[in-house]
Amino acid sequence: MNILKPLNRSWLPSVLLNIFLIALFWLPYVLGYSEMKQSEISIFGMPSLVILNGIVSLLIQFIIIILLLFGVSRLLFVRYINIITYLPFTLMMLFAVCWQATHTFGNHTIATVFVILALVEIVRINVMKDNTSLIFNMFVSLIVASVFQIDFLFFIPFFILGMFILDGFKCRSVLVMLFVLLVGAVTIGGYAYVFDCSEEIKNYYLQVLGFGIQLYSWEFVMNNIVFFVMALFAVISLFFYFQNQGNLRFKTKKTVAFWTILWLFTTAYIFLFGMEHSGFELLYVIQTTFFMLLTFVDYRSDSKSVIFNIMLSLLFLSYMCRMVMSLVDVRTYMNSLQTALSGI
């Protein structure tokens, strides 16, 4: 059954499926299978500014997910494809619902919003125009993101390279970038001086020199199985795209921007795959959807439809496994399993 066509071309199946996905999002929490975790918001890793209880935290995260995914699908993905498709939002919603790690609100959520704002700015860069305001907004967003979550500081070099690719080596653009970074550093220094927290902020930013490598333990794999399903089908989608690029017609004036975003996403995807996962889940959802969109907007291909159906089956299977596993203590089970295996 080819369900790619209605999900791409018809709004009604997409709306009905998203209503179903929203119900699946809330179902484990309503039934008490999953815990609504409280969240803490802070800057520079210091004591919390705000502490939110579980239900408020989950509700805020849900609203941000809906708004963020809708904004990305309207402001980013549809800029490059000459056809109307309802698939981007549905795909992102599917990944977000099945991957429980995206349900936690915190500093990483706020940082993700600012990185997406920076991404929206960089795709609007036009080498034939003055882009100083876009570059200003882009780097301000990235600095603010790093204030909430230090790991997002790693995106600044990627955006600098993207700026040079899209805008060239314009003196005014480079000066604006340096001005924003300098003012950002001075502002952070001024904050540290006024609130007498220089040592805390210094230690916060020094963390970037000692980022950890992700250890893919059995417990991590079991808790993030959707992440690996997404990564697998992202690779498959890229393979199909590069094998048959002619099936997609991208807007000519957006070609350079498209390839820049594809390069940014691919490089960041590989880079973040090796880092300790510190709140990059929503970014993974958006990046994976971008890769898959390159393949699955071509709903005429039977082979791609089969692959899409397999992916859907695996995602819903992982969702059901999470529901079942939430009824038992996974950590205790894995420890018991390891003990049993070690005795063999």
Q: What is the 3-state secondary structure (H, E, C) of the chain?
A: CCCHHHHHHCHHHHHHHHHHHHHHHHHHHHCCCCCCCCEEECCCCCCCCEEECHHHHHHHHHHHHHHHHHHHHHHCHHHCECCCCCHHHHHHHHHHHHCHHHHCCCHHHHHHHHHHHHHHHHCCCCCCCCCHHHHHHHHHHHHHHHHHCHHHHHHHHHHHHHHHHHHCCCHHHHHHHHHHHHHHHHHHHHHHHHCCCHHHHHHHHHHHHHCCECCCCHHHHHHCHHHHHHHHHHHHHHHHHHHCHHHCCECHHHHHHHHHHHHHHHHHHHHHHHECCCCCHHHHHHHHHHHHHHHHCCCCCHHHHHHHHHHHHHHHHHHHHHHHHCCCCHHHHHHHHHHHHHCC
Tens of pLDDT along the chain (344 residues)? 677 878 877 888 889 999 999 999 999 898 887 888 888 898 888 877 788 898 999 999 999 999 999 888 887 766 666 666 788 899 999 999 999 889 989 999 999 999 999 988 888 887 778 889 999 999 999 999 999 988 888 888 888 888 888 877 888 999 999 999 999 999 999 999 988 888 888 888 887 776 666 666 676 777 778 888 888 888 888 887 777 665 554 443 456 666 666 776 677 666 666 666 567 888 888 888 888 887 787 777 778 888 888 999 999 998 888 777 766 654 555 555 566 566 55
Could you tell me the pTM of the whole model?
0.86
pLDDT at 83: 64
What's the pLDDT score for residue 133?
Answer: 93
How many domains does the structure of the chain reveal? 1
- The confidence score (pLDDT) of residue 117 equals 92
pLDDT of amino acid 253: 40
- Domain holding 302, by residue range, is 4-342
